[in-house]
Structure 1
Amino acid sequence: MDVGGKPDAWVEHQAVPDGCIELIRRHAGRSIWRNEQPPLFVTGLALRPATLRFSGDARFTGIRLWPWGWHALGGDRCADFADGWRAVAEDSPLAALLTDNGAQLPGLIAAFSGRPQSPIDAIRHVDSVAALVRASGLPPRQLQRIFARETGMPPRSYLRLLRFREAVAGVQGDASGLADMAAASGYADQAHMTREFRALGGLSPGTARRRAAGPFVPARDEPTMDG
């Protein structure tokens, strides 16, 4: 992602939760999320909107990962840096995944090669905890323990983030009426969807539709690897 401006022309952007971890290398410029960020860092699971600031010459490469994929790579516990970011050491194995030439795919393929799929990956394809129990074949108590370890939250809360992620992608990429979009996204009605947008994203569905998808905002692209 290239901001594409002058160094002194700062850009402000509001990011919203999407249920993912993002490993980011900044190749040029500056970035601030509460504090100045180093060239290599990871953003945690967001539970609320965040205001990000970039210098106009900032340029980034990022890898979006599901939490269980992040942990499969040896990443820190998600609960330890939720709603924030953490610096990543340049001598960390994670640093090798984000090269200056942008060739991330071979490193990712090698990093995930031979790893079994996480039993909770099925949450991406269900709309309730009961459906997740059936799809994963795991008892509810075990699922609770796994989600506490992998995401720092119960399955129901993580499902809420995923539903919001899909709804944001939908309203930004589909011209359907908001009531139809609410139904398609699994909300009880448009008012329910609006409440969730305001609670998690700090904006209405209509505002989300008017804004173009920007850096670190949920879009229809999936995280790079499932883990």
Structure 2
Amino acid sequence: MRQPRGDSRGILDPARLMRRVRFRRHLPAAPLQRWVEHYWLVDWELTEPFEQRVVPHPAVNVVFQRDGDGPEHAEVAGVGLDVFSIVLAGTGRVCGVQFRPGGFHPFWRRSVAGLTGRRRPFAELADRWPPAAAPRRVICAGTDADRCRALDELLTGWAPRPDPVTDEALRLVEAIRADRAVRRVDEFARDHGLSIRRLQRLFRTRVGVGPKWVIRRYRLHEAIERTTDGPPDWAALAAELGYADQAHLIRDFTTITGISPGTYSPRTHRRS
């Protein structure tokens, strides 16, 4: 049986996050797992504001949040092109759905590229959902099991339908994620019997970004993850991940995270 991902890929300074909030992942109902990576739940009770930064996956998220006793609000977050930053304060809860890359299309039923780099209020798009997909109760309430059931009901009400083109996109993105040897779009397209043009169109409409972007983002996630046990050999890691040299990896890392590898690595091991 599949288990939720146990890595911290994309989360900057994950140890600090785990010390400040309760973060966990749960699988959705079995029929939804072909499209949904996992549900992610966060609860916090803080005495001072806490900022968390994340290098997004090539995936759409639907996020419900409730701060203190205030009303619940929700948004649809397309694939994030830049680092996402959020400041948490006081008490609150989040219930998020991370779709598999390409997995939001059967729910959205139009090109996912229209959401890329954007965060849209869920209510603003409510006229596009099937009536059964409207939340019938507060999502961020009760136990983890209650919250997961509420999300299951919401997504099932969307009535997603299997689509062979989406299945192809899901399979191709997973191949990139699982194989660090994938470095070039032309070689990847050839290996999978696709033209570069068709591959790019498939990724834009189903995933929301192109295959080159996906390859680079997963390489960067791997580089960030390698800092978990201490600063890696950056030159060796650059060669392993297909960068021309260490300087290219450092530049990519710094551009996306806003922090140089030399500065970031010590920060991930400090206590705070």
Q: Quick one: which of 107, 122, 125 aligns to 2:175?
A: 125
Q: 1:21 aligns with which of 45, 52, 60?
A: 60
Distance 1:160 1:22, change over 3 A: same
How many corresponding residue pairs? 205
Q: 1:16–1:48: 8 Å Cα contact kept in structure 2?
A: yes
**Corresponding residue for residue 44 of structure 2:** 3
The two structures have a TM-score, normalised by structure 1, of 0.71
CA RMSD of aligned residues (A): 3.6
Structure 2, unmatched stretches of 5+, are 1-41, 177-181
SS at 2:235's partner residue?
Answer: helix
**Per the alignment, in what secondary structure is the counterpart of residue 51 of structure 1?**
strand
1:184 maps to which of 240, 256, 261: 240
Q: Which runs of structure 2 are paired with 1:159-174 in the superposition (5 Å)?
A: 159-172=215-228
Q: Deviations over 1:127-146 (max 9, x none)?
A: 12134314533222211222
Residues 57-92 of structure 1: CA deviation (Å, up to 9, x unaligned): 122121212341011222664433333311113964
Structure label with greater radius of gyration: 2
Runs of 5+ unmatched residues, structure 1? 31-36, 214-227
Cα pair 2:253 2:261 within 8 Å, conserved: yes
Matches within 5 A, 1:63-82: 63-74=97-108, 77-82=111-116
- What percentage of aligned pairs have identical amino acids? 26
SS at match of 2:198: helix
Q: Which residue of 113, 119, 127 maps to 1:85?
A: 119
Residues 94 and 155 of structure 1, relative CA distance in 2, 3 Å threshold: farther
- State the Cα distance separating 1:173 from its structure 2 match: 5.3
The question of whether the paired residues in 2 share the 8 Å contact of 1:24 and 1:40 is answered with yes
* Secondary structure class of the residue paired with 2:108: coil
Cα distance in 1 between the residues matched to 2:209 and 2:103: 16
Alignment match, 1:33: none
Distance 1:86 1:76, change over 3 A: farther
Instruction: Specify the SS of the correspondent of 2:57.
Output: coil
Cα distance in 1 for partners of 2:241, 2:230 equals: 12
Q: Does 1:198 align with 2:259?
A: no
1:103 alignment partner in structure 2: 148
Matched, 1:59 2:100: no
SS state at 1:58 partner: strand
Which structure exhibits the higher relative contact order, with contacts defined as CA atoms closer than 8 Å and separated by 6 or more residues?
A: 1
Partner of 2:29: none
The amino acid that maps onto 1:160 is R
Question: How many Å separate the matches in 2 of 1:25 and 1:178?
Answer: 38
Please give the TM-score of this superposition, normalised by the length of structure 2: 0.61
Q: Would you say the 8 A contact 1:38–1:87 is kept in 2?
A: no
